[in-house]
Amino acid sequence: MPPEYVHLPQDEIPSAWYNVLADLPEPLPPPLHPGTGKPLTPDDLAPIFPRALIEQEMSGDRWVAIPSEVRELYKIWRPTPLVRAVRLEKALKTNCRIYFKNESLSPSGSHKLNTSLAQVYYNKKEGVARLATETGAGQWGSSLAFACKVFGLQCTVYMVKSSYHQKPYRRSLMHIWGGEVFPSPSDRTQSGRAILAEHPDTPGSLGIAISEAVEDAAMHADTKYTLGSVLNHVLLHQTVIGLETKRQLQLAGETADVLIGCVGGGSNFGGLCLPFIPDKLKRPELEIIAVEPSACPSLTKGVYAYDFGDTAKLTPLVKMYTLGHSFVPPGIHAGGLRYHGTAPIIAHLTKLGLIRAEAYPQNSVFEAALQFASTEGFVPAPETSHAIRSAIDRAKRNDGKCIVMCYSGHGHFDMSAYDAYLSGKLEDYEHPDAAIDEALRHLPVVR
Ligand SMILES: Cc1ncc(COP(=O)(O)O)c(C=O)c1O
């Protein structure tokens, strides 16, 4: 009988992050300079990122050593347990084994701290005084605020307006750790003011908040920009999740048949799954499933094309599955999944057929969240609940498989979402094809 709970000792926290770029069957299409259309150079990124992170972004090395200071800080909550959801399995009457890698145990309550600590560490080393960022649900903003507190940097967060109002306690968390938080779009930036003038009632979006944070960093010499997902170096830092999981499965005498994660920009999903890509290349039957909201279905309904990462067209062009940079998703409660694009690495692997994507409407996602909470006890974040929905549906096939999902965060600050679900007030949105066609008309032309 495989164990219900697999712990690792702290000396088994990985000593290096895994870089999947070294093992891709085809190279990743490079990011392009939006002005020249030429592949981006390190100098193009220097105004907004520190050198060390630019090097990681472009590195082809298979392993990148984790600095000892960062590894020490990981000890606050890592290694995280791999837990077998036996009570959920029983309720489903499935003969599949369902495991979840519990990333909700970090101080900020999600996987995001795996990269915020690393990013702030490198910025600090290069003398940066302040970091500007965006946040959707507030998980990333709070993780960055904590990391900035640890390393003594100032932290400015542009929080998507709909989440700013839906999740006031995530704001409080950022304040506790000394961060300043503004609802986005705000009147602090040119990009924010332009959007407010045209759409004063916009709920905001990650694309808009990214524009504001990038502009803030570009306009201030002491400030750099940080992103909580999408970029290669962010997914790299998150691979501690999958590396620990591999070791834990080995200790449990298990081999994963199915890997599942929710996808906003792709960082928790990539963190779990990328270390398994070499296995997938040898064992094509390994299923790797990316789960997204049907209200923001980049992987399932978007096109694979070069697009801007933000709304105001300030970022480089990256090749990804996109719904168009002008797309503003409905204000669903999984704020961290309201992104028009995807990590280029995840998009590339999807295009190559190594990853499969699924989309679910939010009511069925919350139904799964309640089933999980009623059996396993933990109350998941709405984002995480997408992975749970998929894992439950997969387990219902009853084919004896070993299913492993990333439990990316807890939902303790998402009670208004649970209240809305329980009182029948949660709306489902299907993204209309006409809206995709309209947004895709604005894609940049790349020769
Ligand atoms: C708990 C949780 N899970 C998942 C996500 C989605 O982000 P990513 O796709 O980068 O993991 C977020 C983003 O805010 C989050 O807060």
**Ligand 1 atom 7: residue of nearest CA:** 264
Q: 37-54: per-residue pLDDT in tens?
A: 999 999 999 999 999 999
Q: Is residue 80 in a domain?
A: yes
Q: Is residue 22 in a domain?
A: no
Name the pLDDT band for 76 (thresholds 50, 70, 90): very high
pLDDT at position 436 over 90: no
Q: Which of 106, 337, 340, when mutated, tests ligand 1's pocket best, judged by the most ligand atoms within 8 Å of its CB?
A: 337
Residue 86 is predicted with a pLDDT of: 97
Q: Which residues, judged by CB distance below 6 Å to any ligand atom, belong to the binding site of ligand 1?
A: 110, 136-137, 139-140, 229, 262-269, 336-337, 381, 383-384, 408-409
Give Cα 288 to chain centroid, integer Å.
16
Helix spans in 199-343 (H): 206-219, 232-252, 267-273, 277-282, 298-301
The rounded percent of the chain whose pLDDT value lies above 70 is 100
In the three-class reduction of DSSP (H, G, I as helix; E, B as strand; rest coil), residue 320 is classed as strand
Residue 87 is predicted with a pLDDT of: 97
Q: Is residue 172 in a domain?
A: no
**Ligand 1 atom 13: residue of nearest CA:** 336
* Closest ligand 1 atom number to CA of residue 234: 10
- Assigned token pair, 307: 């697009």
Containing H/E element for 307? strand 303-308
* Of 53 and 3, the one with more pLDDT: 53
Q: Is residue 319 in a domain?
A: yes
Beta bridge pairs of residue 407: 102
Q: Is residue 177 in a domain?
A: no
Cis upstream peptide for 185 (omega within 30°): yes
| Residues in contact with 447: Cβ distance below 8 Å, sequence separation at least 6, in sequence order | 37
d(CA 205, ligand 1 centre) in Å = 14
Q: Which of 133, 231, 268, when mutated, tests ligand 1's pocket best, judged by the most ligand atoms within 8 Å of its CB?
A: 268
Q: Mean pLDDT in the chain?
A: 95
Residue 338 is predicted with a pLDDT of: 85
Containing structural domain, residue 73? 5-12+66-109+238-440
Residue 9 is predicted with a pLDDT of: 97
**Phi, psi dihedral angles at 3 (to 5 degrees):** -65, 160
| DSSP string of 220-237, one letter each residue | -TTEEE--SSSSHHHHHH
Q: Is residue 165 in a domain?
A: no
Q: 138-191: per-residue pLDDT in tens?
A: 999 999 999 999 999 999 999 999 989 988 999 999 999 999 999 999 999 999
Select from 315, 237, 302 the least CA-distant residue to 31: 315
Q: What is the mean pLDDT of residues 420-430?
A: 93
Q: What is the mean pLDDT of residues 423-439?
A: 86
Distance, CA of 124 to CA of 144 (rounded, Å):
13
Q: Is residue 445 in a domain?
A: no
Helix spans in 324-426 (H): 344-351, 362-376, 382-395, 415-422
Distance, CA of 363 to CA of 223 (rounded, Å):
40
Name the pLDDT band for 25 (thresholds 50, 70, 90): very high
| DSSP string of 112-137, one letter each residue | THHHHHHHHHHHHHTT--EEEEEESS
Q: Which of 106, 108, 110, 162, when mutated, tests ligand 1's pocket best, judged by the most ligand atoms within 8 Å of its CB?
A: 110
Residue 244 is predicted with a pLDDT of: 98
Q: Is residue 274 in a domain?
A: yes
* Structural domains of the chain, count: 1
d(CA 231, ligand 1 centre) in Å = 14
287 burial class (0-12, 13-18, 19+ CB within 10 angstroms)?
Answer: middle
Distance, CA of 195 to CA of 193 (rounded, Å):
5
**Ligand 1 atom 14: residue of nearest CA:** 336
One-letter amino acid of 254: E
CATH code of residue 390: 3.40.50.1100
Q: 93-127: per-residue pLDDT in tens?
A: 999 999 999 999 999 999 999 999 999 999 999 99
* Closest ligand 1 atom number to CA of residue 229: 10
Q: Is the pTM of this model over 0.95?
A: yes
**Ligand 1 atom 16: residue of nearest CA:** 139
Residue 440 is predicted with a pLDDT of: 83
Residue 294 is predicted with a pLDDT of: 94
pLDDT at position 235 over 90: yes
Q: 308-354: per-residue pLDDT in tens?
A: 999 889 899 999 999 999 888 888 888 788 888 999 999 999 999 99
